[in-house]
Amino acid sequence: MAPSSEALTDAILKSVQHGEYPDSEAIASADLSTDALPSLLQALDTARDEIKTDIRDLSREAAPDIDGWIAQAKQLQADIERSKATAREIVQQAEAGKALQSNIDDASSKVGLLQNELAFNGTLSETLVRIKDTKRLLDEAQGAAVARDVITAINKLENVDQSTVGKGSLGSARVSGLLQNRVKSLRNDLIEETLRRWNMLITFDYSRSRVVICNKIEQGSRSISIADVAMALVKLDLLEVTIGRFCKDLIRTIRSRFATGKSKTSGPVEFTQVEEQDILEMGPGSDNDGVGHALEDFIKIIKWLTKCLPSMITTSLSSMLLPPLISQFIKDWLQLTIPLSLEGMRDFENALEKISDTAESIGNLGWAGREELVEWVDAAPRTWLTKRREATLDAARRVMLIGLKETKTVERVETEMVAKDDVLGGGTEQTNDDWDEAWEEGENRDPQGPSSPIKDHEDEEDEDASAWDMEDDAEESKANNQPHATKIDTSGANEEDDDAWGWNEEDQGSPNATKSPIEIKKQEPKMNGSKPITARPTEREVTLKETLTVTSVPDGILEVILQVIADAEGLAKPEFSQSTIAPAATGLYLLPTLVLAMYRATASTYYSTLPASNMYIYNDSARLSSQLRSSLLPPSSPGTGPPRPSPSPKLKLDPDLRALDSLSRRAYAHEMDAQRTILRDLLDSAQGFANCTAPPFAHECDRAVAMTVDRVREVHAVWAAILSRSALLQAVGALVVSVMGKVVADVTDMADISEAESKRLRGFCDEIAALSELFVQRGEEGEVVSDVTPYVVPNWFRFQYLGQIMESSLADIVYMWTESELRLEYEASEIVDLIEALFAESEHRRKAIGEIRKSGGGS
Q: What is the DSSP string of 402-454?
A: HHTT-EEEEEEEEEEEEETT-TTTT-STT--HHHHHHEESSPPP-TTPPPPSS
Q: Are the beta carbons of 525 and 489 closer than 8 angstroms?
A: no
pLDDT for 523 equals: 40
pLDDT for 295 equals: 85
Put simply, whether the predicted model's pTM sits higher than 0.85 gets the answer no
Q: Are the beta carbons of 792 and 730 closer than 8 angstroms?
A: yes
Neighbouring-strand partners of residue 409: 549
Mention every residue, 6+ apart, whose C-beta is less than 8 A from residue 632: 561, 562, 565, 647, 651, 653
Residues 186 and 717: their CA atoms lie apart, in Å, by 94
From the list 748, 734, 612, 610, the residue with the least C-alpha distance to 667 is 612
Q: What does CATH list as the number for 673-856?
A: 1.10.357.150
Q: Are the beta carbons of 543 and 418 closer than 8 angstroms?
A: no
Q: Are the beta carbons of 464 and 524 closer than 8 angstroms?
A: no
Phi-psi sector, 284: left (phi>0), alpha (psi -120 to 50), beta: beta
pLDDT for 517 equals: 38
From the list 501, 489, 499, 491, the residue with the least C-alpha distance to 455 is 491
Chain Cα centroid distance, residue 659 = 21
pLDDT for 539 equals: 67
Other C-beta atoms lying within 10 Å of the C-beta of residue 793: 32
pLDDT for 162 equals: 52
Other C-beta atoms lying within 10 Å of the C-beta of residue 280: 21
What is the identity of the amino acid at 434? Answer: D
Q: Are the beta carbons of 252 and 281 closer than 8 angstroms?
A: no
Phi, psi (deg, nearest 5) at residue 411: -105, 135
What is the identity of the amino acid at 123? Answer: T
The beta-carbon contacts of 429-432 under 8 Å, at least 24 apart in sequence, are 430/786, 431/786, 432/779, 432/785, 432/786
Q: What is the mean pLDDT of each run of 10 residues along the chain (859 residues)?
A: 74 78 76 77 84 82 76 86 88 85 88 87 76 75 73 75 52 69 80 86 85 81 81 86 89 79 62 74 66 84 88 85 84 80 79 86 83 85 88 92 89 69 43 34 34 40 34 36 32 34 33 38 38 48 84 93 88 76 84 93 92 92 91 57 58 90 94 94 88 84 93 94 92 94 91 89 92 87 83 92 91 90 90 91 90 72
pLDDT for 135 equals: 76
CA-CA-CA-CA torsion sign (472, 473, 476, 481): negative
Q: What is the DSSP string of 94-147?
A: HHHHHHHHHHHHHHHHHHHHHHHHHHHHHHHHHHHHHHHHHHHHHHHHHHHHHT
